[in-house]
A = this chain, B = another copy of it.
Amino acid sequence: MIKAGIIGSTGYAGAELVRILLNHPEVTISWYGSRSYIDEKYASIYGNMFELVSDVCKGDDISALADEVDVIFTATPQGFLAGVLTEEILSKVKVVDLSADYRIKDVATYEKWYGIEHKSPQFIEEAVYGLCEINREDVKKARLVANPGCYTTCSILTAYPLVKEGLIDPATLIVDAKSGTSGAGRGAKVNNLFCEVNENIKAYGVASHRHTPEIEEQLGYACGKEVVINFTPHLVPMNRGILATEYASLVKKEGGSLPSAEEIQAVYEKYYGGEKFVRVLGANKCPETKWVEGSNYVDIGFKIDERTGRIIMMGALDNIVKGAAGQAVQNMNLLFGFDEALGLNLVPMFP
State whether A307 and B47 are in contact (beta carbons under 8 Å apart), knowing that A182-B195, A239-B198, A245-B234 are contacts in the complex. Answer: no
- Kindly state whether residue A228 has any CB partner on chain B within 8 Å: yes
Given the complex, which residues of B lie within 8 Å of A48, measured CB to CB? 290-293, 295, 347-350
Which of A75-83, A143-151, A281-289 lies at the interface? Answer: A281-289
Cβ B50 vs Cβ A303 within 8 A: no
Cβ A196 vs Cβ B50 within 8 A: no
> What is the bound-complex CA distance between A74 and B201, given in angstroms?
29
CB distance from A17 to the nearest CB of B (A): 11
Most chain B beta-carbon contacts within 10 A, residue among A279, A292, A307: A307
Given the complex, which residues of B lie within 8 Å of A291, measured CB to CB? 47-48, 50
Render A163-193 as a binary contact track against B, CB cut-off 8 A, 1 for contact: 0000000000010101011100010111011
State whether A290 and B22 are in contact (beta carbons under 8 Å apart), knowing that A48-B349, A188-B189, A206-B312 are contacts in the complex. Answer: no
State whether A186 and B190 are in contact (beta carbons under 8 Å apart), knowing that A203-B243, A236-B236 are contacts in the complex. Answer: yes
- Complex interface residues of chain A between 308 and 333 (CB less than 8 A to chain B): 308, 310, 312, 314, 316
Interface size class of A (residues with CB under 8 A): 35 or more
User: Which residue in B190, B201, B245, B307 is a CB contact (below 8 Å) of A243?
Assistant: B201
CB distance from A141 to the nearest CB of B (A): 29
Cβ B207 vs Cβ A305 within 8 A: yes
CB distance from A335 to the nearest CB of B (A): 23
> What is the bound-complex CA distance between A291 and B53, given in angstroms?
13
Cβ A200 vs Cβ B247 within 8 A: no
User: Which residue in B230, B243, B294 is a CB contact (below 8 Å) of A349?
Assistant: B294
> What would be 14 A-B contacts, judged by CB atoms less than 8 Å apart?
A47-B288, A48-B348, A51-B279, A193-B193, A194-B194, A199-B290, A199-B293, A201-B288, A202-B286, A207-B303, A228-B307, A228-B308, A234-B245, A236-B236
